[in-house]
Amino acid sequence: MRIFLLLFVFAISIAEVMREDSPEGKAIAFLTREVPAWSRDNGCFSCHNNGDAARALYAASRKGHRIPAEALAETTAWVREPHRWKENKGDPGFSDKRLANVQFAASLLAAFETGHVRDRRPLEAAARMLIADQDGDGSWKIDTGATLGSPATYGTPLATWMALRVLKQSNLAGTRAAMQNADRWLRRLKPNNLLAAATLLLASAGDSTECLRLIRRAQTRDGGWGPYADSPPEAFDTAMVLLALAEARGKPGVAESIRRGGAFLVAQQNSDGSWPATTRPSGSESYAQMMSTTGWATLALLATRE
């Protein structure tokens, strides 16, 4: 019995080491260091650190990864008080309050789904704020001057789906009309780029066959996806497509597309566990986009590799 217990403990220890050495393990270690750094160093909360990157840590905790309490403590305290969000100083260049409300609400939802926040009332308060921000056509208009969303600025389709998820999970009375309008807007959206196609698959809106056809056609020789069918692959676009394919993995050929896409994403990872920023246009430097890209890429690996 003693030998059996020793072998069992040894096997668990090896499994833990292997998981920490995995691409997602390295990404989680990077995010664990970096997520709390922004509020500590800048005295405010950000859509990239406390939004997208924190959501990846919440998801990792749900998958059984050990996340130190201090890595998410300040984010959790912040997102569970939506009445304070309007007081946030914001990060330079990313101070769109409508976008911030969507991203902090998404982070709050992740905290609620993983048990870090147990009271539903903050989620209801966040849902009220989102409804107030909803456009008359049912969407959440974000970054309207750009043709494509980016990791930290989303764009209208992705923001609309993220907001809709919060409304659905809030159980707030009186949200039916807002949810129906958002769903109607998404169903009318044409998947003319990979981010739109991935968003529609995630939202279960539109023609999934058309979206999957575009995704199959656009996968590059390296296995990744760019913003358009003829674009070089990018980490963010690949991560978004992988998240969408994870919901359609039973379809013919999807498992192989996921395998190749995951291999591309792993090949792009930096040695410190992060990913290079996906920017619009490509090739620029941005801490915000790097953190959000890393958050989305980590979410994609967690959804498809484990």
Closest to 189 (Cα-Cα) out of 165, 168, 210: 210
Distance CA 259, CA 129 (A): 39
Residue-level pLDDT, tens digit, the chain, 306 residues: 555 444 444 333 334 444 678 999 999 999 999 999 999 999 999 999 999 999 999 999 999 999 999 999 999 999 999 999 998 875 544 568 999 999 999 999 999 999 999 999 999 999 999 999 999 999 999 876 666 899 999 999 999 999 999 999 999 999 999 999 999 999 999 999 999 999 999 999 878 999 999 999 999 999 999 999 999 999 999 999 999 999 999 899 999 999 999 999 999 999 999 999 999 999 999 999 999 999 999 999 999 986
Could you tell me if residue 120 is inside a domain?
A: yes
Could you tell me if residue 46 is inside a domain?
A: yes
**What is the percent of the chain with per-residue pLDDT over 90, rounded to a whole number?**
85
Could you tell me if residue 179 is inside a domain?
A: yes
| CATH code of the domain covering residue 178 | 1.50.10.20
Rg (CA), the chain: 19
Question: What tens digit of pLDDT does each residue of 96-153 get?
Answer: 899 999 999 999 999 999 999 999 999 999 999 999 999 999 999 987 666 689 999 9
- Per the structure, the complete domain to which residue 243 belongs is given by 16-304
Q: Where are the alpha helices (DSSP H) in the chain?
A: 2-21, 23-34, 37-42, 54-62, 69-79, 97-113, 121-133, 156-170, 176-188, 194-203, 208-218, 235-246, 254-268, 287-304
Could you tell me if residue 259 is inside a domain?
A: yes
Please count the structural domains in the chain: 1
